[in-house]
Amino acid sequence: MQDCVVVTGMIIKTVPIGEYDRRVVILTKERGKIAAFAKGARRQNSRFLAATDCFCFGVYRLYPGRDSYNMMETNISNYFEDLRMDFESAYYGMYFLEVADYYTRENNDERDMLKLLYQSMRALCAKSLDNRLVRYIFECKAVVVNGEFPGVEHPENYSQSLLYTVDFIAKQPVEKLYTFKVSDSVLKELADFSSKIRQRFLRSRFKSLEILETLVENPV
């Protein structure tokens, strides 16, 4: 008989199964990205109802099954409720979850991506920074964490302020990422730089990003 597994992580994806169950994907500190089955999680009186929503961060006690883990207990330390209650911030957060799901793998060391994800959600909740700046920082740092960041190609096309900003994002630990603001002109440059990075390295269709760019960043 296999022992239970205890992991710390954030739920980055949920899928309804049948009438009352839910399959979740958790990005964990110990085992990278894993899938878990939460029986009865969609019942109104289920102890897993709130604990298996996207953004939930905490400790999960799981039992290994044939194709995925089975959820036994949860201890959620942060539901990121403020994020859920704000339409714009919630879609930025969902986009970050999609990027994390795209980049991460099971049984891989994903501690840096988990840390980036957690701090980025905190930055969205704090509302001290423009959400667009949080997004561009996240996109660049996600590529850095994945070991693909190429640096600034053709630096002559950018201002010194932009070059300093990108260097700061690339080199600073995640905990210090969301501690600065930029001028509108640098934000525009960073948007252009981040767009090139995304097109080159994040080669996937992100539904949340499409909604963001249509309804929030480029409204009709």
Q: For residue 27, what is the domain's CATH number?
A: 2.40.50.140
Whether residue 67 is found in the same domain as residue 176: no
Instruction: Confirm if 36 and 60 have CB atoms less than 8 A apart.
Output: yes
Q: What is the mean pLDDT of residues 187-214?
A: 92
What pLDDT does 91 receive?
95
Instruction: Confirm if 5 and 64 have CB atoms less than 8 A apart.
Output: yes
Whether residue 125 is found in the same domain as residue 213: yes
Whether residue 189 is found in the same domain as residue 128: yes
Q: What is the mean pLDDT of residues 68-95?
A: 94
| pLDDT, tens digit, 9 for 90 and up, residues 40-57 | 999 988 899 999 999 999
Task: Report the sign of the C-alpha dihedral through residues 83, 86, 88, 94, in that order.
Answer: positive
Whether residue 15 is found in the same domain as residue 117: no
Task: Report the C-alpha gap between 169 and 167 in whole angstroms.
Answer: 5
Mean pLDDT lowest among 79-93, 175-189, 201-215 = 201-215
What pLDDT does 220 receive?
45
What pLDDT band is residue 218 in, cutting at 50, 70 and 90?
low
What pLDDT does 213 receive?
87
Whether residue 202 is found in the same domain as residue 190: yes
Listed residues 79, 100, 131: the one ending a domain: 79
Question: Percentage of the chain surpassing pLDDT 90?
Answer: 86
Listed residues 54, 79, 104: the one ending a domain: 79
Q: What is the mean pLDDT of residues 147-158?
A: 93
What pLDDT does 68 receive?
85
What pLDDT band is residue 217 in, cutting at 50, 70 and 90?
low
Listed residues 51, 79, 107: the one ending a domain: 79
**Residue 108: pLDDT over 60:** yes
Whether residue 156 is found in the same domain as residue 212: yes
Q: What is the mean pLDDT of residues 80-98?
A: 94
Q: Across the chain, what does the average pLDDT equal?
A: 93
Q: What is the mean pLDDT of residues 75-83?
A: 95
Domain residues for the domain of 201 are: 82-217
**Residue 58: pLDDT over 50:** yes
What pLDDT does 204 receive?
87
Whether residue 86 is found in the same domain as residue 17: no
Which residues have CB under 8 Å from 155's CB, separation 6+? 163
Q: On the CB side of 219, how many CA atoms lie within 13 Å of its CA?
A: 3
* Domain tally, the chain: 2
**Residue 1: pLDDT over 60:** no
Whether residue 70 is found in the same domain as residue 87: no
Using alpha carbons only, what angle is made at residue 216 by residues 213 and 219, rounded to the nearest 5 degrees?
Answer: 85
Enter the tokens of residue 189. Answer: 């440059």
Whether residue 170 is found in the same domain as residue 64: no
Whether residue 103 is found in the same domain as residue 42: no
**Residue 141: pLDDT over 60:** yes
Whether residue 177 is found in the same domain as residue 103: yes
Whether residue 59 is found in the same domain as residue 92: no
**Residue 8: pLDDT over 90:** yes
Which residues have CB under 8 Å from 70's CB, separation 6+? 36, 37, 39, 62, 63, 64
CATH number for the domain spanning 144: value is 1.20.1440
What pLDDT does 214 receive?
87
DSSP string, 171-218: HS-GGGTTS----HHHHHHHHHHHHHHHHHH--S--HHHHHIIIIIIS
